[in-house]
Structure 1
Amino acid sequence: PTDGLIGAGPLVLVDRETAEAFEDNVFGEVSLHPADLDTDPASGLLRVPDFVWCQVHGQAGMLDIGLTEDGRLVMSGQALLVFHSFGGGIDNATISEWLG
């Protein structure tokens, strides 16, 4: 993976550096959990080291990081800036403006 965030919904994987930035800059209701993602090389799946599960509890539009009713992740401009500042690229993500 080349992005600092993988997945969507109530649980997303974020790289450790980004996770620490989220913890230090409390933006919303998130909890971080260890992720053991070593996969069998024979499966053809990638090995994803140094990522943690970031469980998003907040509602979109209420805090800097939240979820819409259909599970889309929403970040404020400030949270997105911190995300990018700590190595969290999202080049492969579909990004659109949330109109709430």
Structure 2
Amino acid sequence: MAYHLLSPDVAGELGDGTVLDTSTHPPVVHQLEYVISAWFGSDLLESFPCFVVSAELGKALQESGFGSFELADMQLTVTPEAEELRQGMDVRELPEFVWLKIFGQAGVDDIGVDRRASLVVSDRALELLRRFDLDGCDIEDYQGT
């Protein structure tokens, strides 16, 4: 089975409400606040070392049976500039987002992360993801690390 390295859109950053342990690399995040500063419609977002998905994509992932992840609550903050930019570009309404906590191993599980906390998915998982908006997400073949 082939695997793919995904570099999702970075639509913002970790907010002050994020609680993380920086004594390890990558850091372990215990609580997430994602602050959106520029969003162009993608259902899959990133801010190292976290991934965020629209609730609709999260539901599809849960129903897929892929495993190796869980969806968790998070705090979402949208800056006024992001909302103005979204409206100015006529981008759809901001959906509900959930935290995609990944436990899978890159190149083994359908959804995994490598030692740098990069997202790696199987062909099957990529096929599901492509049914959603992946604007700004770079996809390349995963060569392993």
Report the TM-score, using the length of structure 2 for normalisation: 0.59
The count of residues paired between Structure 1 and Structure 2 equals 96
How far, CA to CA, are the matches of 2:67 and 2:48 in structure 1? 15
Larger strand proportion, structure 1 or 2? 2
Match of 2:91?
none
Structure 2 regions of 5+ residues with no counterpart? 1-38, 87-93
Root-mean-square deviation (Å) = 2.0
**After TM superposition, which residue ranges in structure 1, 4 or more long, deviate above 2 angstroms?**
8-11, 38-41, 44-49
How far, CA to CA, are the matches of 1:94 and 1:64 in structure 2? 18
How far, CA to CA, are the matches of 1:10 and 1:63 in structure 2? 18
Match of 2:71?
32
Q: Is the 8 A contact 1:65 1:73 kept in 2?
A: yes
Match of 1:68?
114
Q: Is the 8 A contact 1:65 1:74 kept in 2?
A: yes
Listed as ranges, the matches of 1:6-17 within 5 Å are: 6-7=45-46, 9-17=48-56
Structure 1 regions of 5+ residues with no counterpart? none
SS at match of 2:139: coil
Which of 25, 38, 42 is the matching residue for 1:3?
42
How far, CA to CA, are the matches of 2:51 and 2:45 in structure 1? 6
Q: Cα distance, 1:58 vs. partner?
A: 0.9
Could you say if the C-alpha distance between residues 8 and 99 of structure 1 is closer, same or farther in structure 2, counting changes exceeding 3 Å?
farther
Match of 2:61?
22
Q: Which has the larger radius of gyration?
A: 2
